[in-house]
Amino acid sequence: MDVIFDRGIYLPGPDLWLDSRRKRPVSCISHAHADHTAAHDRPILTGATLGLLSKLLRRSDPCALEYGDTHHAPSWSLTLYPAGHCLGSAQVLVESKASGHRVLYTGDFRVRPSPTAEPLEPASCDTLIMESTFGSPEYVFPPQEETLARFFATLRRWLAAGCVPVVLAYRMGKAQELLHHLLSEGFEVALEEGAYAVARRHEELGVKFPGGFRSFQGDLRDGETLLFPPGRRTRAALKGIRRKRYMAMSGWAVLDGARRRLGADEALPFSDHADYNELIDYVKAVSPKRVYTVFGFPHLARRLRAEGYDAQHLENGRENIQLRFL
Ligand SMILES: [Zn+2]
């Protein structure tokens, strides 16, 4: 059974899906990463997410909302709040008009600031459905400024030694965030074609990058840093480039052996997700009566139970969660 295509969170009262991976008549899409999307008939999402997914959703009849605007159905309402994860990413607050019960679904979220994502706004709720990607105690990230300082220093060292830095970051979100940071430090950057196209789309959606950048077409210029998604295709595309040094920027880099696993010469802990402490602090800030954790480690729900929360982990987000309170 291909459980992947059954993923998603279902609210039976409103008959509403959240981040369903299967095409549905109506589903909220929290953000533009492929593991949260499908070509729904009526997706509910932010205008920026719609802009990033325009190809996928070309046959859809979308309901695009600004942050803080409320969509009203007869028995429930829905409001999107910034999630800080990538451009357009949203938390989804669904409120029953009969009972006033509020369900908040975080989608993927990040507490630390990003130059290419709207800052996180916690929203109070009764029931919290939250991601737990880094919901295990080993995933505590150092201060972002510290990591970025190491990032820039390493790349400068490689460039000074006549090497070609290749920064590995996925195409949607992380690549544009790192591009922004690199340009603000004066680096010359050429991006993999797909990441470049997404960066241009970011500009169309209002993101201003602090400098010029170009699409890499096999023609390396002196002193350039390359920005590519991780994976075999990148290795193949860059086969002809000599003296490459790969830099991975990932939350998984807090673990020993991350460099080897990520296939990089250097790996630094930099993520667009909340770390373990930030996940716990977020729950405290939102103060829900009940918590469901999805898409990550079950440890977080255990820790929350130890702190007195009514918390349950839903295994790998593969189940269709039936919430009966709306
Ligand atoms: Zn994501």
Q: Model confidence over 16-44: pLDDT tens digits?
A: 899 998 999 999 999 999 888 999 999 99
CATH architecture entry for 144-268: 3-Layer(aba) Sandwich (3.40)
Give the distance (Å) from ligand 1 centre to CA of residue 108: 5
| pLDDT at res. 6 | 54
The span from the CA of 92 to the CA of 11, in Å, is 12
pLDDT of residue 323 exceeding 70, the answer is no
pLDDT of residue 310 exceeding 80, the answer is yes
Mean pLDDT value of segment 255-262: 84
Give the distance (Å) from ligand 1 centre to CA of residue 225: 25
Identify the CA nearest to 103 among candidates 78, 86, 128: 128
Question: Is 176 in contact with 189 (CB distance < 8 Å)?
Answer: no
Mean pLDDT value of segment 240-267: 91
For the chain, helix, strand, coil in percent to 5 are: 30, 25, 50
Mean pLDDT value of segment 271-300: 94
User: If you classify domain 3-138+273-322 with CATH, what class do you get?
Assistant: alpha beta
Give the distance (Å) from ligand 1 centre to CA of residue 240: 32
Q: Model confidence over 56-94: pLDDT tens digits?
A: 999 999 999 999 999 999 999 999 999 999 999 999 999
Strand positions, DSSP E, 83-152: 90-96, 102-105, 127-131
**Which three-class secondary structure state does DSSP give residue 228?**
strand
The span from the CA of 38 to the CA of 19, in Å, is 8
Computed over every residue of the chain, the mean pLDDT equals 92
Give the distance (Å) from ligand 1 centre to CA of residue 85: 7
pLDDT of residue 223 exceeding 60, the answer is yes
H or E element at residue 261: helix 258-262
Domain ranges of the chain: 3-138+273-322, 144-268
Give the distance (Å) from ligand 1 centre to CA of residue 321: 19
What residues flank ion ligand 1 with Cβ within 5 A?
33, 108
Task: Report residue 2's pLDDT band, with 50, 70 and 90 as the boundaries.
Answer: very low
Identify the CA nearest to 314 among candidates 38, 16, 19: 19
pLDDT of residue 319 exceeding 90, the answer is no
Q: Tell me, yes or no, if the two domains 3-138+273-322 and 144-268 fold the same way.
A: no
Mean pLDDT value of segment 288-293: 92
The span from the CA of 123 to the CA of 181, in Å, is 29
